[in-house]
Amino acid sequence: MILIADGGSTKCDWILLDDKGEVALKTRTKGLNPAVFKPENLKARLEENEDLKTITFKVSRVDFYGAGCGTPTPVKNLKKILEDYFPDAEVNVDEDMVAAALAATTEPGIVCILGTGSNSCYFDGKNVHMQVESLGYVLMDEASGNYFGKRLIRDYYYNFMSDDMSKEFAKRYDLNADTIKKNVYKEDNPNTYLASFAEFIFTAQERNGYFYKLIYEGIEKFIERRVMCFKQAQGVPIHFIGSIAFFSEDIIRDVAKRYHLDIGNIIRRPIDGLIKHYKHNVLKVN
């Protein structure tokens, strides 16, 4: 049986497929980003899932696609952990962009991730091609969860929010300066912590002018820097993967019109598209 994982910094979805391409198990662990978490933390997060314990020796192949899996050292660390946990399985670790591309389309296009972090690639129908190497949540990640989280915190402290919104934001989150600085500068996975604030935008009862402007500016920066950098941008569909993209679809389409872009699929969870890909293209089940 093949175990497929789609992992980010916040969460990781796991799907076990039998030989007929049917879902034998579906579960979720905390995020397993090897570029953010220490190996001992990755191991602990894997081991605390009870569902995975039941299939440790039943899996013949593990295909892990994840954030932070674009450079050799993190990949090596995570691969070793997975090989130890699934001793009878062939283990493959690849970056989340590959999973996003396979989930979004079988044709050439630009595929974008807007989740806790953000990224983009050109998919030629078989392989992904990166134009800009991602430098992570501190220097890049436009329009991601952590990008919007940072914006909200800054706007709150700079008094850019209305009084009512500022009060509501303070009700929902601990905005004590010491708490924020401790989580950002001293605790593990600050990107996930920052992204947690973005929920304030996307769970509001209405999308007011402030929220619309915030999202629009983030999407615009992303398209300028991570989509228009591809020479194929105005000739192929632009697909989006991730929760931020899913809840911002109307604004993505608004911004895209300015750049004469053709928006393709917008998918909240790539794992669903991966199931179809594996069933038809790997297991060859019709």
Q: What is the reported pLDDT for 257?
A: 95
Q: How many domains does the chain have?
A: 1
In a domain, 18, yes or no: yes
Q: What is the domain range of residue 45?
A: 2-100+271-282
Mean pLDDT by 10 residues, the chain (286 residues): 90 92 93 90 94 94 91 93 96 92 92 92 92 83 95 97 94 97 91 93 83 96 96 96 93 96 92 85 76
In a domain, 232, yes or no: no
CATH number at residue 27: 3.30.420.40
Structure tokens at 237: 């569909």
Q: What is the reported pLDDT for 279?
A: 86
Contacts 24+ apart (CB under 8 A), 46-53: 46/81, 46/82, 46/85, 47/85, 49/14, 51/14, 51/25, 51/27, 52/14, 52/27, 52/85
Using an 8 Å Cβ cutoff, are 12 and 30 in contact? Answer: yes
In a domain, 109, yes or no: no
Q: What is the reported pLDDT for 286?
A: 66
In a domain, 277, yes or no: yes
Using an 8 Å Cβ cutoff, are 28 and 16 in contact? Answer: no
Q: Concatenate the DSSP letters of all residues of the chain into one string.
A: -EEEEEE-SSEEEEEEE-TTS-EEEEEEEE---TTTS-HHHHHHHHHT-HHHHTTTTT-SEEEEEETT-SSHHHHHHHHHHHHHHSTTSEEEEEEHHHHHHHHH-SSSEEEEEESSSEEEEEE-SS-EE-SS---HHHH--TTSHHHHHHHHHHHHHTT-S-HHHHHHHHHHS---HHHHHHHHHTSS-HHHHHHHTTHHHHTSSS--HHHHHHHHHHHHHHIIIIITTSTTTTTSEEEEESHHHHHTHHHHHHHHHHTT-EEEEEES-HHHHHHHHIIIIIS---
In a domain, 6, yes or no: yes
Paired strand residues for 7: 12, 66
Paired strand residues for 121: 111
In a domain, 224, yes or no: no
